[in-house]
């Protein structure tokens, strides 16, 4: 259990220039990963500060904030600008956590850590990838992944870690599968007396490069299935995912919303869909020839 409440020094990077694309009020269904989005409240003290295509959240309090996910290497300046637009100081971020160790979700970590002075918290399986700025062959998508700036100040946390910052309490849930270090985060967000349990569920897609076969790694598949059962059983009222469209976020948050924010079946449905995709992937592999490992 880690409690963070001390001041963090700020070394803020410059905000995007006047010639940068203007943040979208309504994000298109086919928005790119780096398309800027207007920051907005999700519920209570939980704010969306990511891009249209990749999520980042700020969980705020008077004692300091937690930043959840860091998006792509190009998105760091936009996340910082979004935090400031909401009236918050990036220097008040006390900890940065993330979903999984791919460049589209941790690519901005080094820049955001430099700007906030906050430590990055990670489960042990993600540590070496963060320190190298690159994955290895244990990652199913290894041959298709881009690198990112290495992250210096990483604190290793337990699989069931509870992060406390003042009144904030974020629960880590180990969810390996999409990557070995995948982590889901849950917390309660209140708007006066209207409190909901938010689940920021990691990606659960069983995808890979052209060489990796899940059927060659039965222990990993068993771990993946444990993750799917774990996510399905979570107390879950508001589901958010690293790729916002995977949880239909823009139909539930912002000016284009036409669906309720709260869906108590969302995590079960999310896990069930991922289970079906994993089953299909395993069946497809059983029928497919084995591809040779390309030269690197």
Q: What angle do CA 225, 231, 234 make, to 5 degrees?
A: 145
* pLDDT for residue 153: 94
Q: Is 293 part of a structural domain of the chain?
A: no
Q: Is 137 part of a structural domain of the chain?
A: yes
Asked if residues 182 and 203 have their Cβ atoms less than 8 Å apart, the reply is yes
What does pTM read for this prediction?
0.90
* pLDDT for residue 22: 80
Q: Is 197 part of a structural domain of the chain?
A: yes
Q: Is 23 part of a structural domain of the chain?
A: yes
pLDDT digits (tens, 9 = 90+) for 91-112: 999 999 999 999 999 999 999 9
Q: Is 295 part of a structural domain of the chain?
A: no
Q: Is 173 part of a structural domain of the chain?
A: yes
Q: Is 176 part of a structural domain of the chain?
A: yes
Strand partners, 46: 43, 59
pLDDT < 70 positions in the chain: 1-20, 289-296
Alpha carbons 81 and 111: distance in angstroms, whole number: 13
CATH of the domain at 248: 3.60.15.10
SS3 label, residue 245: helix
Q: Which two tokens stand for residue 294?
A: 């390309």
| Domains in the chain, number | 1
* pLDDT for residue 256: 81
DSSP strands (E only) in the chain: 2-3, 40-43, 46-48, 57-59, 65-68, 93-97, 120-123, 154-157, 162-165, 168-174, 183-191, 194-200, 238-240
* pLDDT for residue 255: 87
Q: Is 292 part of a structural domain of the chain?
A: no
* pLDDT for residue 264: 98
Q: Tell me which residue range forms the domain holding 156.
A: 2-287
Asked if residues 38 and 44 have their Cβ atoms less than 8 Å apart, the reply is no
In sequence order, what are the residues at sequence separation of 6 or more whose Cβ sits closer than 8 angstroms to the Cβ of residue 3? 164, 165
């Amino acid at each position: 259990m880690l409690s963070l409440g001390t001041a963090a020094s700020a070394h803020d990077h410059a905000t995007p220039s006047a010639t940068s694309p203007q943040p979208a009020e309504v994000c298109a269904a086919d928005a790119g990963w780096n398309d800027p989005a207007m920051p907005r409240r999700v519920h209570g003290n939980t704010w969306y500060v990511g891009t249209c295509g990749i999520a980042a959240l700020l969980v705020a309090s008077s004692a300091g904030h937690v930043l959840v996910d860091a998006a792509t290497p190009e998105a760091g300046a936009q996340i910082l600008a979004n935090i400031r637009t909401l009236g918050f100081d990036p220097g008040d971020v006390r900890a940065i956590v993330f979903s999984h160790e791919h460049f589209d979700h941790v690519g901005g970590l080094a820049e955001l850590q430099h700007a906030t002075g906050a430590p990055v918290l990670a489960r042990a399986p993600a540590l070496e990838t963060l320190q190298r700025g690159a994955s290895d062959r244990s990652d199913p998508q290894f041959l298709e992944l881009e690198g990112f700036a290495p992250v210096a100040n990483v604190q290793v946390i337990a699989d069931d870690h509870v992060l406390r910052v003042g009144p904030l309490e974020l629960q880590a849930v180990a969810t390996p599968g999409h990557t070995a270090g995948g982590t889901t985060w849950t917390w309660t967000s209140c708007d006066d007396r209207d409190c909901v349990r938010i689940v920021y569920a990691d990606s659960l897609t069983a995808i890979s490069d052209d060489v990796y076969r899940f059927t060659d790694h039965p222990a990993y598949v068993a771990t993946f299935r444990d993750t799917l059962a774990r996510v399905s059983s979570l107390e879950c009222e508001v589901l958010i995912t690293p790729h916002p469209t995977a949880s239909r976020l823009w139909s539930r948050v912002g000016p284009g919303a036409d669906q309720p924010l709260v869906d108590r079946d969302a995590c079960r449905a999310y896990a069930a869909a991922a289970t079906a995709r994993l089953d299909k992937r395993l069946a497809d592999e059983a029928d497919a020839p084995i591809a040779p490992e390309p030269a690197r």
